[in-house]
């Protein structure tokens, strides 16, 4: 089977709202290409383009469409004093944090070019992260009923989440994605109940290894593992 092509774009450091709007434009263009001008649905998705975006955001809390405000433990004035933005987004999941030292990945994939199964898509996103962590000697895994990648998920009291995930899908075109804590300042998570999950900690590659790691190296490994797991060819750098 011929590999799907994926255009990679590293957005560098970008405001959350700007990146969100950019994703929306890419998604809507793909949705438009899947429909004829008359508005009749056309099952031709050959013209759509798959993208993989990497970005770092300034400090921001984002709340998913089904998230609960009570999982935000900081009031607006305190948050503003700390220079942390807040957005109620249209992705799945609850509250999470994005900031410096974290790689946020936004795949804009037309799943009809792969499979029409959101559950499988999320598991494969998790697999990309698990394989990448393994290259640093970190054993990542899954926690039953809790999307994302965890460390020591089965050891009560030791569970810690290293990668949060939340996606949106329209006409089988995805947006939003994952947030992998690399050299992230984890103290920002003290002001929320991450992903709405009580009594579980967060982790970063830096914290697990006891040293910082090169962000570009992590990005390269993530891209290679995307190619492996999704059987795609990533173009661009």
Provide the sign of the torsion angle of the four alpha carbons 191, 197, 201, 206, taken in this order.
negative
Read off the tokens for 35: 């429909």
pLDDT in 10s for each residue of the chain, 237 residues:
679 999 999 999 999 999 999 999 999 999 999 875 445 555 555 789 999 999 999 999 999 988 888 888 889 999 999 999 999 999 988 899 999 999 999 999 999 999 999 999 999 999 999 999 999 999 999 998 889 999 998 888 899 999 999 999 999 999 999 999 999 999 999 998 876 667 779 999 999 999 999 999 999 999 999 999 999 999 987
For the CA atoms of 95, 96, 98, 99, what is the dihedral angle to 10 degrees?
A: 110
Query: Tell me, what's the pLDDT at 71?
Result: 85
Positions marked active-site: 195
Site of tokens 């998790």 = 126
pLDDT confidence of residue 157: 87
CA 65 to CA 96: how far, in whole Å?
Answer: 12
Instruction: Tell whether residue 179 is among the known ligand binding residues.
Output: yes
How many domains does the chain contain in total?
A: 1
Scan for tokens 């383009």, then name that residue: 49
CATH of the domain at 199: 3.30.930.10
Calpha distance 45→116 (Å, rounded): 13
**Is-contact 229 127, C-beta < 8 A?**
yes
Q: Minimal CA–CA distance to 23: which of 11, 6, 41?
A: 11
Q: In whole angstroms, what is the distance from residue 49 CA to residue 110 CA?
A: 7
In this prediction the pTM is 0.93
Rounded CA gap, 233 and 224, in Å? 9
How many Cβ atoms sit within 10 Å of the Cβ of residue 136? 15
Q: For residue 1, say whether it is annotated as part of any ligand binding site.
A: no
91 marked as binding residue: yes
Supply the range of the domain harboring residue 169: 4-235
């Amino acid at each position: 089977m011929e590999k799907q092509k994926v255009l990679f774009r590293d957005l560098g450091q970008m405001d959350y709202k700007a990146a969100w709007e950019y994703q929306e434009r890419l998604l809507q263009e793909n949705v438009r290409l899947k429909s004829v001008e008359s508005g009749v649905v056309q099952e031709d998705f050959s013209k759509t383009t798959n993208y993989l975006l990497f970005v770092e955001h300034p400090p921001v809390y984002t709340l998913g469409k089904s998230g609960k405000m009570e999982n935000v433990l900081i009031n607006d004035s305190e948050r503003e004093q700390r220079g942390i933005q807040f957005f109620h987004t249209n992705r799945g999941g609850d509250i999470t944090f994005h900031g410096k030292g974290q790689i946020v990945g936004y795949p804009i994939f037309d799943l009809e070019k792969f499979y029409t199964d959101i559950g499988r898509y999320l598991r494969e996103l998790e697999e990309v992260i698990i394989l990448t962590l393994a290259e640093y000697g970190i054993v990542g895994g899954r926690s039953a009923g809790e999307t994302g990648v965890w460390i020591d998920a089965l050891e009560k009291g030791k569970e810690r989440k290293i990668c949060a995930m939340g996606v949106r899908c329209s006409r089988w075109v995805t947006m939003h994605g994952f947030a992998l804590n690399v050299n992230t300042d984890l103290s920002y998570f003290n002001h929320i109940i991450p992903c709405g999950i009580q009594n579980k900690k967060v982790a970063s590659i830096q914290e697990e290894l006891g040293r910082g790691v090169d962000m570009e190296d992590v990005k390269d490994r993530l891209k290679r593992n995307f190619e492996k797991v999704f059987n795609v060819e990533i173009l661009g750098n």
